[in-house]
Structure 1
Amino acid sequence: MDPHLLRTFVTVAGCGSFSGAARQLGYTQSAVSQHVAALEEDLGATLLHRRPVVPTEAGVRLLDHAGPILLRLDAARADVRRTAAEAAGRLIFGATPLALAYPMSLAVARLRRSMPGLDVTLRVAGRAAVVTGVAAGELDLGLVDGVAAPTDPLRLPDAGALTTVRVAEEPCGVFLPADHPLAARSGLRLGDLVEARWIDAPDVGAPLADLRAAAGVDGVRAAFRYEGTDVASLLTLVAAGHGLAILPMRTHPGVRAVPIVEPRLVHRIELLHGHLAGPAEALTRSVRSGA
Protein backbone atom coordinates (compact mmCIF):
# COMPACT_ATOMS: atom_id res chain seq x y z
CA MET A 1 0.00 0.00 0.00
CA ASP A 2 1.56 3.30 -1.12
CA PRO A 3 1.58 5.76 1.81
CA HIS A 4 1.23 8.72 -0.57
CA LEU A 5 -2.02 7.26 -1.90
CA LEU A 6 -3.19 6.52 1.63
CA ARG A 7 -2.51 10.09 2.76
CA THR A 8 -4.45 11.41 -0.23
CA PHE A 9 -7.41 9.16 0.61
CA VAL A 10 -7.42 10.32 4.26
CA THR A 11 -7.33 13.96 3.13
CA VAL A 12 -10.23 13.50 0.71
CA ALA A 13 -12.27 11.74 3.40
CA GLY A 14 -11.51 14.55 5.84
CA CYS A 15 -12.33 17.34 3.40
CA GLY A 16 -15.40 15.64 1.97
CA SER A 17 -14.36 16.66 -1.53
CA PHE A 18 -11.69 15.98 -4.12
CA SER A 19 -11.24 19.67 -4.91
CA GLY A 20 -10.73 20.56 -1.22
CA ALA A 21 -8.16 17.80 -0.84
CA ALA A 22 -6.38 19.00 -3.98
CA ARG A 23 -6.05 22.52 -2.53
CA GLN A 24 -4.82 21.18 0.80
CA LEU A 25 -2.26 18.81 -0.73
CA GLY A 26 -1.13 21.08 -3.54
CA TYR A 27 -2.14 18.58 -6.25
CA THR A 28 -4.50 18.92 -9.18
CA GLN A 29 -7.99 17.51 -8.70
CA SER A 30 -7.25 14.99 -11.45
CA ALA A 31 -4.16 13.76 -9.58
CA VAL A 32 -6.16 13.33 -6.37
CA SER A 33 -8.79 11.30 -8.22
CA GLN A 34 -6.07 9.13 -9.77
CA HIS A 35 -4.49 8.53 -6.34
CA VAL A 36 -7.79 7.35 -4.84
CA ALA A 37 -8.56 5.19 -7.87
CA ALA A 38 -5.09 3.59 -7.69
CA LEU A 39 -5.54 2.82 -4.00
CA GLU A 40 -8.97 1.31 -4.66
CA GLU A 41 -7.51 -0.85 -7.41
CA ASP A 42 -4.67 -1.98 -5.14
CA LEU A 43 -7.09 -2.97 -2.35
CA GLY A 44 -9.82 -4.30 -4.63
CA ALA A 45 -12.51 -2.24 -2.91
CA THR A 46 -14.38 1.03 -3.43
CA LEU A 47 -13.30 3.36 -0.64
CA LEU A 48 -15.33 6.49 -1.35
CA HIS A 49 -18.82 7.22 -2.57
CA ARG A 50 -18.51 10.03 -5.11
CA ARG A 51 -21.82 11.87 -4.60
CA PRO A 52 -21.59 12.85 -1.83
CA VAL A 53 -17.93 12.16 -1.14
CA VAL A 54 -18.11 9.97 1.97
CA PRO A 55 -16.28 6.77 2.92
CA THR A 56 -17.83 3.43 2.06
CA GLU A 57 -17.86 0.69 4.70
CA ALA A 58 -14.48 -0.46 3.40
CA GLY A 59 -13.26 3.14 3.49
CA VAL A 60 -14.30 3.51 7.13
CA ARG A 61 -12.35 0.37 8.00
CA LEU A 62 -9.28 1.72 6.21
CA LEU A 63 -9.55 5.05 8.04
CA ASP A 64 -9.38 3.16 11.34
CA HIS A 65 -5.96 1.85 10.29
CA ALA A 66 -4.72 4.88 8.38
CA GLY A 67 -4.10 7.21 11.34
CA PRO A 68 -1.70 4.91 13.21
CA ILE A 69 0.01 3.86 9.95
CA LEU A 70 0.71 7.42 8.84
CA LEU A 71 1.73 8.43 12.34
CA ARG A 72 4.30 5.64 12.50
CA LEU A 73 5.64 6.61 9.06
CA ASP A 74 6.00 10.23 10.21
CA ALA A 75 7.75 9.01 13.37
CA ALA A 76 10.18 6.87 11.37
CA ARG A 77 10.97 9.76 9.02
CA ALA A 78 11.51 12.17 11.93
CA ASP A 79 13.59 9.64 13.84
CA VAL A 80 16.00 9.24 10.93
CA ARG A 81 16.24 13.00 10.45
CA ARG A 82 16.79 13.45 14.18
CA THR A 83 20.05 11.49 13.89
CA ALA A 84 21.55 14.42 12.06
CA ALA A 85 20.00 16.84 14.53
CA GLU A 86 21.57 14.96 17.46
CA ALA A 87 24.94 15.15 15.78
CA ALA A 88 24.44 18.88 15.33
CA GLY A 89 23.39 19.31 18.97
CA ARG A 90 19.70 20.22 18.71
CA LEU A 91 16.81 19.53 21.08
CA ILE A 92 13.12 20.26 20.45
CA PHE A 93 10.66 19.72 23.27
CA GLY A 94 7.02 20.60 23.70
CA ALA A 95 5.04 21.51 26.79
CA THR A 96 1.47 22.25 27.73
CA PRO A 97 0.99 25.66 29.41
CA LEU A 98 0.54 24.38 32.97
CA ALA A 99 3.34 21.83 32.57
CA LEU A 100 5.72 24.78 32.35
CA ALA A 101 5.24 25.09 36.12
CA TYR A 102 7.71 22.21 36.38
CA PRO A 103 11.25 23.69 36.45
CA MET A 104 12.26 22.13 33.14
CA SER A 105 14.15 25.32 32.32
CA LEU A 106 16.61 24.52 35.14
CA ALA A 107 17.20 21.01 33.78
CA VAL A 108 17.70 22.43 30.28
CA ALA A 109 20.11 25.05 31.64
CA ARG A 110 22.20 22.31 33.26
CA LEU A 111 22.13 20.33 30.02
CA ARG A 112 23.33 23.32 28.01
CA ARG A 113 26.20 23.85 30.44
CA SER A 114 27.25 20.24 29.91
CA MET A 115 26.71 20.50 26.13
CA PRO A 116 28.00 23.90 25.01
CA GLY A 117 26.41 25.08 21.79
CA LEU A 118 23.25 23.00 22.24
CA ASP A 119 20.41 24.50 20.17
CA VAL A 120 17.12 24.24 22.14
CA THR A 121 13.57 24.92 20.90
CA LEU A 122 10.49 24.98 23.15
CA ARG A 123 6.99 24.67 21.65
CA VAL A 124 4.03 25.46 23.92
CA ALA A 125 0.86 23.75 22.72
CA GLY A 126 -2.22 21.84 23.83
CA ARG A 127 -2.11 18.26 25.14
CA ALA A 128 -3.12 16.58 21.90
CA ALA A 129 -0.54 18.54 19.89
CA VAL A 130 2.27 17.69 22.31
CA VAL A 131 1.38 13.99 22.46
CA THR A 132 1.04 13.72 18.68
CA GLY A 133 4.26 15.69 18.19
CA VAL A 134 6.23 13.24 20.33
CA ALA A 135 4.59 10.21 18.70
CA ALA A 136 5.36 11.55 15.22
CA GLY A 137 8.94 12.37 16.14
CA GLU A 138 8.48 16.10 15.60
CA LEU A 139 9.30 16.64 19.28
CA ASP A 140 12.15 14.90 21.09
CA LEU A 141 10.31 15.14 24.42
CA GLY A 142 6.93 16.32 25.65
CA LEU A 143 5.86 17.70 29.02
CA VAL A 144 2.11 17.36 29.57
CA ASP A 145 -0.23 17.96 32.47
CA GLY A 146 -3.69 16.82 33.48
CA VAL A 147 -6.06 16.01 36.33
CA ALA A 148 -6.57 12.45 37.56
CA ALA A 149 -7.14 10.35 40.65
CA PRO A 150 -3.83 9.76 42.49
CA THR A 151 -3.57 6.14 41.34
CA ASP A 152 -4.85 6.65 37.78
CA PRO A 153 -2.80 7.51 34.68
CA LEU A 154 -3.45 10.75 32.85
CA ARG A 155 -6.12 10.51 30.15
CA LEU A 156 -4.02 11.39 27.10
CA PRO A 157 -4.75 11.01 23.37
CA ASP A 158 -3.85 7.58 22.05
CA ALA A 159 -0.63 7.95 20.07
CA GLY A 160 1.02 4.58 20.19
CA ALA A 161 3.68 3.25 22.51
CA LEU A 162 5.12 6.25 24.34
CA THR A 163 6.89 6.09 27.68
CA THR A 164 5.66 8.36 30.46
CA VAL A 165 7.65 9.58 33.45
CA ARG A 166 5.77 11.13 36.38
CA VAL A 167 7.69 14.26 37.34
CA ALA A 168 5.41 16.34 39.58
CA GLU A 169 2.07 16.22 41.35
CA GLU A 170 0.10 18.70 43.44
CA PRO A 171 -3.43 19.23 44.78
CA CYS A 172 -5.99 20.87 42.51
CA GLY A 173 -9.14 22.82 43.23
CA VAL A 174 -12.18 24.50 41.77
CA PHE A 175 -11.51 28.07 40.64
CA LEU A 176 -14.42 30.51 40.89
CA PRO A 177 -14.92 34.28 41.13
CA ALA A 178 -13.92 35.75 44.48
CA ASP A 179 -17.54 36.83 45.12
CA HIS A 180 -19.08 33.47 44.13
CA PRO A 181 -21.54 32.01 46.70
CA LEU A 182 -19.31 28.93 47.08
CA ALA A 183 -16.04 30.86 47.39
CA ALA A 184 -16.13 30.79 51.20
CA ARG A 185 -16.37 26.98 51.38
CA SER A 186 -13.42 25.07 52.84
CA GLY A 187 -13.94 22.26 50.33
CA LEU A 188 -16.26 21.16 47.52
CA ARG A 189 -17.52 17.82 46.25
CA LEU A 190 -17.32 17.51 42.48
CA GLY A 191 -20.61 15.60 42.47
CA ASP A 192 -22.35 18.71 43.85
CA LEU A 193 -21.10 20.83 40.95
CA VAL A 194 -22.29 18.81 37.96
CA GLU A 195 -24.99 21.39 37.20
CA ALA A 196 -22.63 24.34 37.61
CA ARG A 197 -21.50 26.52 34.72
CA TRP A 198 -18.09 25.29 33.54
CA ILE A 199 -15.51 26.69 31.17
CA ASP A 200 -14.34 24.07 28.71
CA ALA A 201 -10.62 24.84 28.24
CA PRO A 202 -9.21 21.53 27.01
CA ASP A 203 -5.66 22.79 26.50
CA VAL A 204 -5.34 24.58 29.85
CA GLY A 205 -7.84 23.46 32.49
CA ALA A 206 -9.01 19.94 33.27
CA PRO A 207 -10.88 18.61 30.19
CA LEU A 208 -14.57 18.20 30.97
CA ALA A 209 -14.47 14.55 29.86
CA ASP A 210 -11.94 13.92 32.64
CA LEU A 211 -14.20 15.62 35.18
CA ARG A 212 -17.18 13.51 34.09
CA ALA A 213 -15.11 10.38 34.50
CA ALA A 214 -13.85 11.50 37.91
CA ALA A 215 -17.34 12.44 39.14
CA GLY A 216 -18.91 9.31 37.69
CA VAL A 217 -21.77 11.32 36.18
CA ASP A 218 -22.92 12.51 32.78
CA GLY A 219 -23.24 16.12 33.94
CA VAL A 220 -20.52 18.78 33.96
CA ARG A 221 -21.64 20.84 30.98
CA ALA A 222 -19.74 23.66 29.31
CA ALA A 223 -21.23 27.15 29.50
CA PHE A 224 -18.24 28.68 27.72
CA ARG A 225 -15.42 27.25 25.59
CA TYR A 226 -11.90 28.68 25.60
CA GLU A 227 -9.71 27.42 22.76
CA GLY A 228 -6.47 28.98 23.88
CA THR A 229 -3.34 28.09 25.83
CA ASP A 230 -2.94 31.17 28.04
CA VAL A 231 -3.59 30.45 31.73
CA ALA A 232 -4.05 34.13 32.60
CA SER A 233 -6.81 34.47 29.99
CA LEU A 234 -8.64 31.47 31.44
CA LEU A 235 -8.46 32.95 34.94
CA THR A 236 -9.78 36.25 33.59
CA LEU A 237 -12.80 34.40 32.20
CA VAL A 238 -13.35 32.69 35.55
CA ALA A 239 -13.11 36.01 37.42
CA ALA A 240 -15.65 37.53 35.02
CA GLY A 241 -18.17 34.81 35.90
CA HIS A 242 -18.19 32.87 32.63
CA GLY A 243 -17.78 29.56 34.44
CA LEU A 244 -15.70 27.41 36.77
CA ALA A 245 -12.43 25.64 36.05
CA ILE A 246 -10.22 23.11 37.80
CA LEU A 247 -6.53 23.99 38.07
CA PRO A 248 -3.60 23.45 40.45
CA MET A 249 -4.11 25.06 43.87
CA ARG A 250 -2.27 28.37 43.67
CA THR A 251 -3.15 31.94 44.57
CA HIS A 252 -4.31 34.16 41.72
CA PRO A 253 -5.81 37.67 42.01
CA GLY A 254 -9.54 38.01 41.36
CA VAL A 255 -10.37 34.33 41.77
CA ARG A 256 -10.75 31.90 44.64
CA ALA A 257 -9.48 28.31 44.65
CA VAL A 258 -11.46 25.86 46.78
CA PRO A 259 -10.02 22.37 47.36
CA ILE A 260 -11.88 19.36 45.96
CA VAL A 261 -12.60 17.01 48.86
CA GLU A 262 -14.37 14.29 46.86
CA PRO A 263 -13.22 12.58 44.75
CA ARG A 264 -9.57 13.17 45.49
CA LEU A 265 -7.92 14.62 42.40
CA VAL A 266 -4.38 15.73 41.70
CA HIS A 267 -2.78 17.84 39.02
CA ARG A 268 0.04 15.80 37.49
CA ILE A 269 2.87 16.60 35.10
CA GLU A 270 4.41 13.81 33.04
CA LEU A 271 7.30 13.61 30.62
CA LEU A 272 6.59 11.76 27.35
CA HIS A 273 9.17 10.24 25.07
CA GLY A 274 9.67 7.64 22.39
CA HIS A 275 13.14 6.68 21.18
CA LEU A 276 15.80 8.47 23.24
CA ALA A 277 19.27 9.50 22.15
CA GLY A 278 21.64 12.43 22.48
CA PRO A 279 20.43 15.53 24.37
CA ALA A 280 16.90 14.11 24.82
CA GLU A 281 18.29 11.05 26.59
CA ALA A 282 20.49 13.19 28.84
CA LEU A 283 17.60 15.48 29.74
CA THR A 284 15.31 12.55 30.51
CA ARG A 285 17.96 11.04 32.80
CA SER A 286 18.17 14.35 34.62
CA VAL A 287 14.39 14.51 35.07
CA ARG A 288 14.17 10.88 36.23
CA SER A 289 16.87 11.46 38.85
CA GLY A 290 15.30 14.71 40.01
CA ALA A 291 18.59 16.46 39.51
Structure 2
Amino acid sequence: MDPHLLRTFVTVVHRRSFSTAAEELGYTQSAVSQQIAALEADLGLPLLHRRPVALTAAGERLLEHAAPLLLRHRAARADVLRSAESPIGQLTVAASPLACTPAVARSLSQAGTAVTLRTAEREKVVELVASGAADLGFVDGISAPSDPLRLPDAGPLTAIGVAEEALVVVLPGGHPLSRRRGLALADLADALWLQAPAAVSVERLREMAGTGTFRVGFRYDGADLHTVGNLAAAGHGLTLLPSSVAAGVPLTAPRLVHRVEMLHAPLAPGPVRAVAERLGQTI
Protein backbone atom coordinates (compact mmCIF):
# COMPACT_ATOMS: atom_id res chain seq x y z
CA MET A 1 0.00 0.00 0.00
CA ASP A 2 1.50 3.32 -1.12
CA PRO A 3 2.13 5.47 2.00
CA HIS A 4 1.62 8.66 -0.01
CA LEU A 5 -1.90 7.55 -0.94
CA LEU A 6 -2.55 6.54 2.66
CA ARG A 7 -1.40 9.95 3.92
CA THR A 8 -3.75 11.66 1.48
CA PHE A 9 -6.61 9.43 2.66
CA VAL A 10 -5.97 10.31 6.32
CA THR A 11 -5.78 14.03 5.53
CA VAL A 12 -9.09 13.97 3.63
CA VAL A 13 -10.76 12.14 6.51
CA HIS A 14 -9.44 14.54 9.14
CA ARG A 15 -10.30 17.64 7.09
CA ARG A 16 -13.61 16.19 5.83
CA SER A 17 -12.94 17.94 2.55
CA PHE A 18 -11.05 17.14 -0.65
CA SER A 19 -10.32 20.81 -1.32
CA THR A 20 -9.03 21.55 2.20
CA ALA A 21 -6.90 18.41 2.13
CA ALA A 22 -5.48 19.44 -1.24
CA GLU A 23 -4.54 22.86 0.16
CA GLU A 24 -2.81 21.29 3.18
CA LEU A 25 -0.89 18.74 1.10
CA GLY A 26 0.04 21.14 -1.68
CA TYR A 27 -1.86 19.23 -4.38
CA THR A 28 -4.71 20.16 -6.68
CA GLN A 29 -8.15 18.91 -5.72
CA SER A 30 -8.14 16.75 -8.84
CA ALA A 31 -4.86 15.12 -7.76
CA VAL A 32 -6.32 14.32 -4.33
CA SER A 33 -9.40 12.77 -5.94
CA GLN A 34 -7.18 10.67 -8.21
CA GLN A 35 -5.09 9.48 -5.27
CA ILE A 36 -8.16 8.41 -3.28
CA ALA A 37 -9.50 6.64 -6.38
CA ALA A 38 -6.15 4.86 -6.83
CA LEU A 39 -6.20 3.68 -3.20
CA GLU A 40 -9.77 2.41 -3.60
CA ALA A 41 -8.80 0.62 -6.81
CA ASP A 42 -5.84 -1.00 -5.06
CA LEU A 43 -8.08 -2.34 -2.28
CA GLY A 44 -11.07 -3.01 -4.51
CA LEU A 45 -13.42 -1.27 -2.08
CA PRO A 46 -14.92 2.21 -1.70
CA LEU A 47 -13.39 4.04 1.25
CA LEU A 48 -15.18 7.37 1.23
CA HIS A 49 -18.60 8.76 0.46
CA ARG A 50 -18.05 11.98 -1.48
CA ARG A 51 -20.94 14.33 -0.64
CA PRO A 52 -20.57 14.88 2.22
CA VAL A 53 -17.18 13.28 2.88
CA ALA A 54 -17.73 10.31 5.19
CA LEU A 55 -16.07 6.97 5.80
CA THR A 56 -17.49 3.72 4.49
CA ALA A 57 -17.19 0.62 6.67
CA ALA A 58 -14.00 -0.32 4.79
CA GLY A 59 -12.68 3.21 5.25
CA GLU A 60 -13.22 3.01 9.00
CA ARG A 61 -11.17 -0.19 9.18
CA LEU A 62 -8.38 1.33 7.09
CA LEU A 63 -8.27 4.44 9.28
CA GLU A 64 -7.64 2.23 12.34
CA HIS A 65 -4.47 0.92 10.67
CA ALA A 66 -3.38 4.15 9.00
CA ALA A 67 -1.64 5.94 11.89
CA PRO A 68 0.55 2.94 12.92
CA LEU A 69 1.41 2.23 9.26
CA LEU A 70 2.44 5.82 8.56
CA LEU A 71 4.43 5.97 11.80
CA ARG A 72 6.26 2.76 10.88
CA HIS A 73 7.08 4.28 7.49
CA ARG A 74 8.53 7.42 9.12
CA ALA A 75 10.41 5.28 11.65
CA ALA A 76 11.99 3.21 8.87
CA ARG A 77 13.10 6.36 7.05
CA ALA A 78 14.54 7.83 10.26
CA ASP A 79 16.38 4.59 11.03
CA VAL A 80 18.07 4.57 7.62
CA LEU A 81 19.10 8.21 7.93
CA ARG A 82 20.28 7.63 11.50
CA SER A 83 22.73 4.98 10.28
CA ALA A 84 24.70 7.74 8.56
CA GLU A 85 24.73 9.95 11.64
CA SER A 86 26.85 13.07 11.51
CA PRO A 87 28.53 14.67 14.55
CA ILE A 88 25.92 15.86 17.00
CA GLY A 89 25.38 19.58 17.36
CA GLN A 90 22.27 19.55 19.46
CA LEU A 91 20.32 16.86 21.28
CA THR A 92 16.55 16.94 20.86
CA VAL A 93 14.70 15.31 23.74
CA ALA A 94 10.96 14.71 24.08
CA ALA A 95 9.41 14.06 27.49
CA SER A 96 5.93 13.54 28.89
CA PRO A 97 5.01 16.11 31.59
CA LEU A 98 5.97 14.01 34.64
CA ALA A 99 8.94 12.25 33.03
CA CYS A 100 11.44 15.07 33.55
CA THR A 101 12.17 14.17 37.16
CA PRO A 102 14.95 15.98 39.08
CA ALA A 103 17.30 13.09 38.24
CA VAL A 104 16.44 13.24 34.53
CA ALA A 105 16.90 17.02 34.52
CA ARG A 106 20.33 16.68 36.16
CA SER A 107 21.38 14.02 33.67
CA LEU A 108 20.50 16.25 30.71
CA SER A 109 22.88 18.89 32.05
CA GLN A 110 25.64 16.30 31.66
CA ALA A 111 24.83 15.50 28.03
CA GLY A 112 27.89 17.38 26.81
CA THR A 113 25.98 19.24 24.11
CA ALA A 114 23.15 21.74 23.71
CA VAL A 115 19.77 20.20 24.57
CA THR A 116 16.30 21.14 23.36
CA LEU A 117 13.52 19.65 25.50
CA ARG A 118 10.01 19.29 24.09
CA THR A 119 7.10 18.31 26.33
CA ALA A 120 4.32 16.17 24.85
CA GLU A 121 1.84 13.50 25.85
CA ARG A 122 3.30 10.01 26.22
CA GLU A 123 1.97 8.64 22.89
CA LYS A 124 3.33 11.69 21.08
CA VAL A 125 6.76 11.22 22.68
CA VAL A 126 6.85 7.66 21.31
CA GLU A 127 5.94 8.97 17.86
CA LEU A 128 8.59 11.71 17.95
CA VAL A 129 11.35 9.26 18.85
CA ALA A 130 10.24 6.61 16.35
CA SER A 131 10.02 9.13 13.51
CA GLY A 132 13.41 10.68 14.25
CA ALA A 133 11.98 14.05 15.30
CA ALA A 134 13.55 13.50 18.73
CA ASP A 135 16.87 11.80 19.47
CA LEU A 136 15.74 10.54 22.88
CA GLY A 137 12.48 10.37 24.78
CA PHE A 138 11.43 10.08 28.40
CA VAL A 139 7.97 8.75 29.21
CA ASP A 140 6.23 8.18 32.51
CA GLY A 141 3.32 6.18 33.79
CA ILE A 142 1.99 4.08 36.64
CA SER A 143 2.96 0.43 36.90
CA ALA A 144 3.75 -2.32 39.36
CA PRO A 145 7.35 -2.13 40.63
CA SER A 146 9.85 -3.13 37.90
CA ASP A 147 7.06 -3.68 35.34
CA PRO A 148 7.68 -1.94 31.99
CA LEU A 149 5.24 0.67 30.79
CA ARG A 150 2.75 -0.30 28.11
CA LEU A 151 3.68 1.84 25.11
CA PRO A 152 2.19 2.09 21.61
CA ASP A 153 3.78 -0.14 18.98
CA ALA A 154 5.98 2.19 16.95
CA GLY A 155 8.69 -0.07 15.61
CA PRO A 156 11.96 -1.18 17.21
CA LEU A 157 12.31 1.19 20.16
CA THR A 158 14.44 0.44 23.20
CA ALA A 159 12.88 1.36 26.56
CA ILE A 160 15.12 1.53 29.65
CA GLY A 161 13.66 2.03 33.12
CA VAL A 162 15.50 4.93 34.75
CA ALA A 163 13.39 5.87 37.79
CA GLU A 164 10.64 4.63 40.08
CA GLU A 165 9.12 6.46 43.02
CA ALA A 166 6.19 6.26 45.38
CA LEU A 167 2.78 7.69 44.55
CA VAL A 168 0.70 9.94 46.79
CA VAL A 169 -3.00 10.74 46.79
CA VAL A 170 -3.37 14.53 46.52
CA LEU A 171 -6.29 15.70 48.69
CA PRO A 172 -7.82 19.13 49.30
CA GLY A 173 -6.86 20.88 52.52
CA GLY A 174 -8.87 19.71 55.50
CA HIS A 175 -10.02 16.52 53.81
CA PRO A 176 -10.99 13.90 56.44
CA LEU A 177 -8.51 11.39 54.96
CA SER A 178 -5.56 13.79 54.89
CA ARG A 179 -4.25 12.58 58.27
CA ARG A 180 -4.06 8.94 57.19
CA ARG A 181 -0.65 7.27 56.99
CA GLY A 182 -1.68 5.49 53.84
CA LEU A 183 -4.65 5.01 51.51
CA ALA A 184 -5.88 2.12 49.39
CA LEU A 185 -7.20 2.93 45.94
CA ALA A 186 -10.28 0.77 46.45
CA ASP A 187 -11.31 2.95 49.41
CA LEU A 188 -11.43 5.99 47.12
CA ALA A 189 -13.50 4.48 44.31
CA ASP A 190 -16.56 6.61 45.11
CA ALA A 191 -14.64 9.87 45.30
CA LEU A 192 -14.50 12.48 42.56
CA TRP A 193 -11.24 12.47 40.59
CA LEU A 194 -9.45 14.84 38.23
CA GLN A 195 -9.31 13.73 34.61
CA ALA A 196 -5.98 15.19 33.49
CA PRO A 197 -3.45 13.88 30.95
CA ALA A 198 -0.59 15.23 33.09
CA ALA A 199 -1.68 12.94 35.94
CA VAL A 200 -3.52 9.61 36.03
CA SER A 201 -6.68 9.10 33.96
CA VAL A 202 -9.91 7.86 35.50
CA GLU A 203 -9.87 4.94 33.03
CA ARG A 204 -6.46 3.89 34.35
CA LEU A 205 -7.72 4.15 37.93
CA ARG A 206 -10.60 1.80 37.13
CA GLU A 207 -8.20 -0.64 35.50
CA MET A 208 -5.79 -0.62 38.43
CA ALA A 209 -8.52 -1.01 41.05
CA GLY A 210 -10.51 -3.55 39.04
CA THR A 211 -13.75 -1.63 39.45
CA GLY A 212 -15.97 0.41 37.16
CA THR A 213 -16.50 3.26 39.62
CA PHE A 214 -14.27 6.36 40.04
CA ARG A 215 -16.16 9.45 38.94
CA VAL A 216 -14.80 12.43 37.03
CA GLY A 217 -15.11 15.61 39.07
CA PHE A 218 -13.23 17.96 36.74
CA ARG A 219 -11.56 17.69 33.34
CA TYR A 220 -8.29 19.48 32.68
CA ASP A 221 -6.75 19.07 29.23
CA GLY A 222 -3.49 20.87 29.94
CA ALA A 223 -0.14 19.61 31.19
CA ASP A 224 0.75 22.20 33.85
CA LEU A 225 1.33 20.39 37.15
CA HIS A 226 0.75 23.50 39.25
CA THR A 227 -2.74 23.70 37.78
CA VAL A 228 -3.35 20.03 38.57
CA GLY A 229 -2.25 20.60 42.17
CA ASN A 230 -4.35 23.75 42.51
CA LEU A 231 -7.46 22.00 41.18
CA ALA A 232 -6.99 19.13 43.63
CA ALA A 233 -6.36 21.52 46.52
CA ALA A 234 -9.54 23.42 45.66
CA GLY A 235 -11.62 20.25 45.92
CA HIS A 236 -12.30 19.65 42.22
CA GLY A 237 -11.12 16.06 42.47
CA LEU A 238 -8.42 13.77 43.80
CA THR A 239 -5.37 12.76 41.81
CA LEU A 240 -2.25 10.59 42.04
CA LEU A 241 1.16 12.19 41.64
CA PRO A 242 4.77 11.16 42.31
CA SER A 243 5.93 11.94 45.85
CA SER A 244 8.65 14.28 44.50
CA VAL A 245 6.03 16.45 42.80
CA ALA A 246 3.32 16.94 45.40
CA ALA A 247 2.50 16.43 49.06
CA GLY A 248 -0.18 13.87 49.82
CA VAL A 249 -1.04 10.62 51.55
CA PRO A 250 1.02 7.62 50.35
CA LEU A 251 -0.81 5.10 48.19
CA THR A 252 -0.40 1.74 49.93
CA ALA A 253 -2.60 -0.58 47.85
CA PRO A 254 -2.37 -1.80 45.22
CA ARG A 255 1.42 -1.73 45.15
CA LEU A 256 2.15 0.76 42.39
CA VAL A 257 4.91 3.18 41.49
CA HIS A 258 5.45 6.12 39.19
CA ARG A 259 7.89 4.82 36.55
CA VAL A 260 10.04 6.73 34.04
CA GLU A 261 11.61 5.10 30.99
CA MET A 262 14.13 6.43 28.46
CA LEU A 263 13.33 5.65 24.83
CA HIS A 264 15.52 5.55 21.78
CA ALA A 265 15.43 4.00 18.34
CA PRO A 266 18.27 1.70 17.17
CA LEU A 267 21.41 3.83 17.31
CA ALA A 268 24.53 3.42 15.20
CA PRO A 269 27.86 4.06 16.95
CA GLY A 270 28.23 7.79 17.26
CA PRO A 271 27.51 10.85 19.40
CA VAL A 272 23.79 10.24 20.06
CA ARG A 273 24.43 6.65 21.10
CA ALA A 274 27.18 7.79 23.45
CA VAL A 275 24.87 10.35 25.03
CA ALA A 276 22.08 7.78 25.44
CA GLU A 277 24.42 5.34 27.15
CA ARG A 278 25.82 8.05 29.41
CA LEU A 279 22.35 9.24 30.42
CA GLY A 280 21.27 5.68 31.18
CA GLN A 281 24.19 5.34 33.57
CA THR A 282 23.80 8.70 35.33
CA ILE A 283 20.06 8.80 36.03
**Counterpart in 2 of 1:265?**
256
SS in 2 for 1:144: strand
Q: Gapped runs of 5+ residues in structure 1?
A: 113-117
Task: Give the letter for the 2:193 counterpart.
Answer: W
Q: How does 1:164-175 map to 2 (within 5 A)?
A: 164-175=159-170
Q: How does 1:8-47 map to 2 (within 5 A)?
A: 8-47=8-47
Q: Alpha-carbon deviation of 1:102?
A: 4.2
Q: Alpha-carbon deviation of 1:130?
A: 0.8
SS in 2 for 1:261: strand
Q: Percent identity?
A: 54
**Counterpart in 2 of 1:230?**
224
Give the structure-1-normalised TM-score: 0.87
Q: Alpha-carbon deviation of 1:251?
A: 6.9
Aligned partners of 1:263 and 1:105: how far apart in 2?
A: 29
Q: Alpha-carbon deviation of 1:218?
A: 1.3
**Counterpart in 2 of 1:115?**
none
Q: Alpha-carbon deviation of 1:82?
A: 4.5
Residues 137, 263 of structure 2: 8 Å contact kept: yes
79-88 vs 277-286, greater mean Cα deviation: 79-88
Tell me, yes or no, if structure 1 residue 207 matches structure 2 residue 198.
no
**Counterpart in 1 of 2:210?**
216
Structure 1 counterpart of 2:275, from 267, 283, 288: 283
Task: Please give the root-mean-square deviation of Cα atoms over the aligned residues, in Å.
Answer: 2.3
16-25 vs 188-197, greater mean Cα deviation: 16-25
Q: Alpha-carbon deviation of 1:73?
A: 1.7
Tell me, yes or no, if structure 1 residue 176 matches structure 2 residue 171.
yes
Task: Give the letter for the 2:63 counterpart.
Answer: L
Q: Deviation per CA, 1:64-86, whole angstroms, max 9, x where unpaired?
A: 33222211221233344546763
Aligned partners of 1:65 and 1:276: how far apart in 2?
A: 27
Structure 2 counterpart of 1:127, from 119, 122, 130: 122
Give the structure-2-normalised TM-score: 0.89
SS in 2 for 1:147: strand
Task: Give the letter for the 1:241 counterpart.
Answer: G
Q: Alpha-carbon deviation of 1:52?
A: 4.0
SS in 2 for 1:27: coil
**Counterpart in 2 of 1:192?**
187
Paired residues in the alignment total: 282
Task: Give the letter for the 2:165 counterpart.
Answer: E
Q: Deviation per CA, 1:206-259, whole angstroms, max 9, x where unpaired?
A: 22222211101112222211111211111111111111110012474xxx5011
Aligned partners of 1:151 and 1:109: how far apart in 2?
A: 26
Residues 139, 261 of structure 2: 8 Å contact kept: yes
Task: Give the letter for the 1:224 counterpart.
Answer: F
Q: Gapped runs of 5+ residues in structure 2?
A: none
Task: Give the letter for the 1:34 counterpart.
Answer: Q
